[in-house]
Structure 1
Amino acid sequence: MEFVTALVFIFIACACGIVWAIFNWMAVHKVEIHHKHEGLTELLQGAEQEKIETLLEIGEHIQDGAQAFLREEYTDCSVFLAIMAVLLIFISPWSSLAFVLGAATSMLCGYLGMAIATAANYRTAFSAITSLANAFQMAYRGGCVMGFLLVSISLSILTLIIIIYNAIIVKSEDNNFEDLVTMFDYVAAYGLGGSTFALFGRVGGGIYTKAADVGADLVGKVEKNLPEDSPKNPATIADNVGDNVGDIAGMGADLFGSFAESTCAALVVSSTQLRVAQGDSYVIDISQLMYPLMVSAFGIGICILVSAYAVYISKVNHINKIESTLKFQLLLSTVALSPIIIGIAYWCLPADYVMVAADGSIQLQELKPWHAFLCSLMGLWSGLLIGYFTEYMTSHSYTPVREVAKSCGTGAATNIIYGLALGYLSTIVPIVAIAITALLSMKMLSFYGVALAALGMLSNLTIGLAIDAYGPISDNAGGIAEMSELGENVRESTDALDAAGNTTAAIGKGFAIGSAALVSLSLYGGYLTRIQTYKVGDQYPFAEGAKIDDPIIFAMLLVGAMLPYAFSAFTMKSVGKAALQMVEEVRRQLHEHPGIYAGTEEPDFRACIAISTKASLKEMIPPGLLVIVTPTAVGLFLGPYAVAGLLPGALVSGVQMAISASNTGGAWDNAKKYIEAGFYRNEAGEVKKKGSDEHKAAVIGDTVGDPLKDTSGPSLNILIKLMAILSLVLAGAFCRTGWLYKPQ
């Protein structure tokens, strides 16, 4: 396959993805909100004018609050990113440029996702008045815009960087793999830029949303017995704003980082190790390295067809069909992509190739295209397995969450015990799946195989993002319906959409954590591969690679394993401090203005929004510095082998913590919803719903779990990825200059 041919297919796929996203964007905005909608008068029973105006007003409040927060966050982050870009100039101007483009792409994708989510949320609530099917389509179309724009824009910009850098850096079309290695060292900074911003987007957004959510629940639900998303609760608007800035913009930035980093890892490792026999020598050219990009490109095309099935063919006209339709999207895209990945491998890769070591000796020989596609397929199907198992552990349709709900009958303490146990147990299947995938991939293609497995898991990322973004949109729709007092029938529809969204969000988090583990491992492989090429005279001082019995490596393994705990402590404490301020503000308003609780006075929503904004922007700095400074300082003062111990320690510890935290929080949330929906019966056969002691116990568990599943857990993805990609970029600079560390 020629380089130009690959580029044509990539840009066609990206263009199709962007067009499909714009088409869905227009479909969302085509829905006009007005009180004269056909059949609306009867459904709202008279007061439709006032209720629709309230709906629009609340939608605007959420939109304005989300935009205001992102402006503040982007402004603050831009200063830090500019400082990092200037520092990277000393490594290479090309690395600095790629870093800036990666950060800018991450910002753009996060903003576009937030914009469509805040446009779709109140339209989803409005559509739920007339039809469950219309409401589902509105929320899902909004998710599609997020998914397809993010992947298509990211892939097209990465491809443009490769084209430009190839023209400037690679000196000839003849075999010149040293130039290719240098070029992809620079390109790797694209992933670093995206992941650096994702750190602040995920942490800042997570602190924002959970401070509001915890404050609203503790005072509104537990103390005042107010319904969820009650218009009498001053923190409700801030909570809904947080869904967009944390679970949409932050989540999008996180998964953009996974996509960019896994692609960069595959490119760095393949340019360093993949070779084709030519006479008595081994050569490589850039056209033989395009397989990772082609997998992502064809993934966009297949996912367009799969999402079109959900929009035009599958009719969600009953509550029971919501969750199954969303899950079927993952299964269908996985099945459809499998033969495509096989075909791409035979089209893009050489018929015979080898993997070489740092000194040019053959590491793996007699390799075929099927080695590559098997690695990608294992990643793809492992992602599906992790997603489905996460659903089993966090959906109230199955035994684990129902056991957690039952434990609420004896109070909040037993609820918390059961929830923690569920989270710990939920690590078994994902970790075994990741371990088997990593083992077999490394057996076949070393760390290049792990990178391909990560890309395989992310090949249907557009669908994963679509069903993930669907969740916060539906959650917001439920809140808007409650605050607009649209009636029980509408709230039942939005609650059903939200319950399915909770499950798909948990699936999305499992998917994100699984891919983060493989991405981090592939980046670690890229790091090891790169430092092994460091040459002093005729010697390769790091050619033997990292060994666990090396004292510095063993010591740094322990330090690395500690970092996720320290990071989680920072984020959890930040949520607690911000939530404390929120609780005090909500109590103050309800105490000083009794008309709020009586329904005769409007709460001061802006004061609560200001608390979340200020707290999140301030509190995201310490964990961000921990992640960025630690590997840099270790590399500068202790050397490459110390970093080689630090990274796997953080990976092994962080993945377990992330899975456990996310699934524990998801289970507590759905146990609460299981009780609210009236499905729970005590031993005497009595139905327990909102306001019961069991419900209050479930709310407390959900409140504890909120920062676990939406702040600490997801943020750990970025910790393990960002440390690895930063180390990879610095390793490239070290190998080119030797100025980072002088081996003794």
Structure 2
Amino acid sequence: MNLLILAPICSILALAFAGYLAYKVLKEDEGTEQMKKIATAIRQGADAYLKRQYTGVALFFAVMFVILGILAGFGFLTPFVPFAFISGGFFSGLSGFIGMKIATRANVRTAHAAGKSLNSALKVAFSSGAVMGLTVVGLGLLDISIWYYLLDFFYRNLDEAMRIQNITSAMITFGMGASSMALFARVGGGIFTKAADVGADLVGKIEVGIPEDDPRNPAVIADNVGDNVGDVAGMGADLYESYVGSIVSTAALAVAAGLGVKGVTIPMTIASIGVVASIIGTFFVKSGEKTEQKGLLAALRRGVYVSSGIIAILSFFLVWNVLGWEHIGVYFAILSGLIAGNLIGFCTEYFTSDTYKPTKKLAQTTTTGAATVIIGGISLGMMSTFLPVIIVAMAIAASFYFAGGSGDYNMGLYGVGIAAVGMLSTLGITLATDAYGPVADNAGGIAEMTHQDPIVRERTDALDSLGNTTAATGKGFAIGSAALTALALIAAYRDQVEIIVKKENLDFVFNLSILNPQVLIGLFIGGMVPFVFAALTMDAVGKTAQLIVVEVRRQFKEILGLMDGSAEADYATCVDICTKAAQKEMIMPALLAIIIPITVGLLLGVNGVAGLLAGATVTGFVLAVMMANSGGAWDNAKKHIEAGNLGGKGSDCHKAAVVGDTVGDPFKDTSGPAINILIKLLSMVSIVFAAFILKFSIF
């Protein structure tokens, strides 16, 4: 209980340091009046989008609050669940909102700082990313701490085992709110950003032949707005949900493992240690003035590795002190998750960075046209799934047996959950290396649109190219952690059902044999869900991009003087098209994650739901890795050519690479990263509605 106080203390520390970094960023100069004007347009577009999105999502949360309230009224849920759902969604959305606010103010400051030095620009962009990372972990720990102490006080008269069971059963439900908000943010933001990006590239680069981020392109502001609402606000909400999901699911598994308060203390304290380690790691991120990717990657890696090392050392003493030498295997479970997270990041970097052979080889395929680029990119993405799957499989096996799974199955599952916490313990700095990318991308756009010195664009392009790699690495990290968290949530689902069965004295026994028709049907349905989800989100990007293409063509045709620069494009119309389309198109994919587990549960029972969750986790993990890595490789193959290779900008190779990049955009920034939220939200919904399904299922 003494160590648990670290959670609220470290949450406040994280938020305070994020505030300090935000203050430092805002003190930087914004540059010329023209730079300020462009930055203001991007900021206003992002604010308008989020305001409209949060208004629509608020309606969904109001409806769900009423539904959960009715279920609570009939005794299917505790009275805390509707409020936990709201708080999870609120903090998830708030983390994305704060991240976007600082990102839309750091972009122009990064562009101006690039005029001084590469290291100055990296510091501004990385500091804004660190605000995002530390805000996510700070708000996540704050939300968890509030609920833990509130519920601990409410159930204070119960014995420890029953008290912890009631606390964790209620706490795990606010993950559903966080997951719901994350899915809306990721899907909506992903549709916006990639529709604008694809539309701008197809007309601007290929049809008209003007550079990326050229101010004559009517979709250029929408593209830059999209970087913030999709890759910052969406990503922040996404990883907030992963972070709290891993902690609360592990805490729930501590009950079945018989660890009580001690089992809850470990994940919350590891997360607290991770905050301090991430803050220390930020001081090790600095670069020289060379724009080579290896040097810049080393600068970012240094911070992550320092943080990982601190956690690896302190976690040993934590486990030894709390659980004793007989459970020291839990430490090695933490270590396996920590190592797996870094290995997945390196594998993703290898397949997506143009520093390595796969992306260089993909760039070579542009010499024979766009078709071979598409074939090569899909092939690369498929091949890239091999190592992450092996790494996650080894992490699951290691964490399960290190924690004592061979003698106690529930301790093994607790080990898998704590491995997910270990993997996400460095999130404060890992997310910083990811979130800085959109800021650098925006900075390059501002530099191009305001005709800055070529050295500025050279430096922002180097940071942007690095951002593509770190973004891909961040997505790989998020997807890997989602696989472990989803597995922990499936185990928590099983425990939740058994708690309800025992409490209500129901005549039910799990039969999770693969030969059970309910489980087998559930597996097939679960395996299909990520593909349908990806299809819906890809189609949404395609339809919205078509609207942007038509609008951009119209403006080039009808606005006299646009091509020669004597007239200004109508940026606001493109922003409005993307905003409206994203709000409309995000509804069906998001509802899919809520409707399917309830429907399957009513038709096939809880055994069928377990099959559904297993099938969705397996195919969702592999599909998400494939899509994210294909998209990242296509993007960096294009950047490799733009750096002067294979004919450089404007060449036939470049045009073929742009086609690959436009296909890869929704792969890596819409469908791929949203799938990891999908597989966790399916589990969260199943846990929340478990009692309802047990009561009304056909089986």
TM-score normalised by length of structure 2: 0.95
Q: Is the 8 A contact 2:12 2:138 kept in 1?
A: yes
Alignment pair present for 1:309 and 2:288 = no
Aligned residue identity for 2:148: I
Aligned residue identity for 1:370: I
Matched with 1:214 is 198
Alignment of 1:620-699 (within 5 A): 620-680=586-646, 688-699=647-658
Matched with 2:695 is 739
Matched with 1:343 is 317
The Cα shift of 1:653 comes to: 0.7
Measure, in 1, the Cα distance between the counterparts of 2:227 and 2:504.
Answer: 56
Mark the runs of 5 or more structure 1 residues left unpaired by the alignment. 35-51, 276-283, 352-367, 681-687
Alignment pair present for 1:330 and 2:304 = yes
Q: Deviations over 1:581-616 (max 9, x none)?
A: 000000000011141111000000000000100000
Seen in structure 2, the aligned counterparts of structure 1 residues 154 and 643 have a Cα distance that, compared at 3 Å, is same
Alignment pair present for 1:422 and 2:380 = yes
Aligned residue identity for 2:129: G
The Cα shift of 1:537 comes to: 9.2
The Cα shift of 1:418 comes to: 0.8
Alignment pair present for 1:729 and 2:679 = no
Q: Deviations over 1:486-540 (max 9, x none)?
A: 1211110100010111100010000000001111111001111222334369977
Measure, in 2, the Cα distance between the counterparts of 1:709 and 1:675.
Answer: 20
Matched with 1:439 is 397
Alignment pair present for 1:318 and 2:290 = yes
Q: Deviations over 1:399-432 (max 9, x none)?
A: 0000000000000011111111100000000000
Matched with 1:241 is 225
Q: Is the 8 A contact 1:654 1:717 kept in 2?
A: yes
Aligned residue identity for 2:301: K
The Cα shift of 1:542 comes to: 4.7
Matched with 1:406 is 364
Q: Is the 8 A contact 1:132 1:493 kept in 2?
A: yes
Alignment pair present for 1:460 and 2:440 = no
The Cα shift of 1:439 comes to: 1.9
Q: Is the 8 A contact 2:447 2:456 kept in 1?
A: yes
Counting aligned pairs with the same residue, the percent is: 43
Q: Is the 8 A contact 2:270 2:311 kept in 1?
A: no
Q: Is the 8 A contact 1:158 1:190 kept in 2?
A: no
Q: Deviations over 1:545-564 (max 9, x none)?
A: 51111111011101110001
Seen in structure 2, the aligned counterparts of structure 1 residues 537 and 473 have a Cα distance that, compared at 3 Å, is closer
Matched with 1:139 is 125
Alignment pair present for 1:590 and 2:562 = no
Measure, in 2, the Cα distance between the counterparts of 1:255 and 1:349.
Answer: 29
Matched with 1:619 is 585
Aligned residue identity for 1:54: Q
Q: Secondary structure at the match of 1:309?
A: coil
Matched with 1:167 is 153
Q: Deviations over 1:276-300 (max 9, x none)?
A: xxxxxxxx4x355211100000000
Q: Is the 8 A contact 1:263 1:293 kept in 2?
A: yes
Measure, in 1, the Cα distance between the counterparts of 2:413 and 2:65.
Answer: 28
Measure, in 1, the Cα distance between the counterparts of 2:24 and 2:290.
Answer: 22
Mark the runs of 5 or more structure 2 residues left unpaired by the alignment. 72-76, 405-410
Q: Is the 8 A contact 1:532 1:545 kept in 2?
A: no
Q: Is the 8 A contact 2:304 2:429 kept in 1?
A: yes
Measure, in 2, the Cα distance between the counterparts of 1:16 and 1:293.
Answer: 15
The Cα shift of 1:81 comes to: 1.0
The Cα shift of 1:339 comes to: 1.1
Q: Which has the larger radius of gyration?
A: 1
Measure, in 1, the Cα distance between the counterparts of 2:552 and 2:386.
Answer: 40
Matched with 1:33 is 30
Matched with 1:20 is 17
Measure, in 1, the Cα distance between the counterparts of 2:278 and 2:390.
Answer: 27
Q: 1:254 aligns with which of 238, 249, 255?
A: 238
Matched with 1:385 is 343
Aligned residue identity for 2:113: S
Matched with 1:155 is 141
TM-score normalised by length of structure 1: 0.90
Q: Is the 8 A contact 1:215 1:579 kept in 2?
A: yes
Measure, in 2, the Cα distance between the counterparts of 1:507 and 1:196.
Answer: 24
Give the length in aligned residue pairs: 683
Measure, in 2, the Cα distance between the counterparts of 1:429 and 1:158.
Answer: 33
The Cα shift of 1:478 comes to: 0.4
The Cα shift of 1:544 comes to: 4.7
Matched with 2:407 is none
Measure, in 2, the Cα distance between the counterparts of 1:179 and 1:199.
Answer: 32
Q: Is the 8 A contact 2:603 2:698 kept in 1?
A: no
Q: 1:120 aligns with which of 93, 100, 106?
A: 106
Aligned residue identity for 1:452: I
Q: Secondary structure at the match of 1:500?
A: helix
Q: Secondary structure at the match of 1:208?
A: helix
Measure, in 2, the Cα distance between the counterparts of 1:727 and 1:26.
Answer: 42
Q: 1:58 aligns with which of 13, 18, 38?
A: 38
Q: Deviations over 1:645-676 (max 9, x none)?
A: 10011111111110000000000000000000
Measure, in 1, the Cα distance between the counterparts of 2:376 and 2:396.
Answer: 31
Matched with 1:496 is 462
Q: Secondary structure at the match of 1:130?
A: coil
Aligned residue identity for 2:214: S
The Cα shift of 1:10 comes to: 2.0
Q: Secondary structure at the match of 1:397?
A: coil
Q: 2:435 aligns with which of 469, 473, 478?
A: 469
Alignment pair present for 1:178 and 2:162 = yes
Q: Is the 8 A contact 1:531 1:542 kept in 2?
A: no
Q: Is the 8 A contact 1:259 1:458 kept in 2?
A: yes
Aligned residue identity for 1:85: F
Q: Secondary structure at the match of 1:326?
A: helix
Measure, in 2, the Cα distance between the counterparts of 1:663 and 1:56.
Answer: 35
Seen in structure 2, the aligned counterparts of structure 1 residues 739 and 664 have a Cα distance that, compared at 3 Å, is same
Q: Is the 8 A contact 1:408 1:694 kept in 2?
A: yes
Measure, in 1, the Cα distance between the counterparts of 2:258 and 2:563.
Answer: 68
Q: Is the 8 A contact 1:136 1:316 kept in 2?
A: no
Measure, in 2, the Cα distance between the counterparts of 1:627 and 1:638.
Answer: 17
Q: Deviations over 1:358-404 (max 9, x none)?
A: xxxxxxxxxx3322111111011000000001001000001000000
Alignment pair present for 1:205 and 2:189 = yes
Aligned residue identity for 2:312: S
The Cα shift of 1:347 comes to: 2.1
Q: Is the 8 A contact 2:602 2:698 kept in 1?
A: no
Matched with 1:80 is 60
The Cα shift of 1:93 comes to: 2.1
Aligned residue identity for 1:221: K
Alignment pair present for 1:700 and 2:697 = no
Aligned residue identity for 1:705: G
Aligned residue identity for 1:198: A
Measure, in 2, the Cα distance between the counterparts of 1:455 and 1:58.
Answer: 40
Q: Is the 8 A contact 1:650 1:720 kept in 2?
A: yes
Seen in structure 2, the aligned counterparts of structure 1 residues 491 and 414 have a Cα distance that, compared at 3 Å, is same
Matched with 2:272 is 297
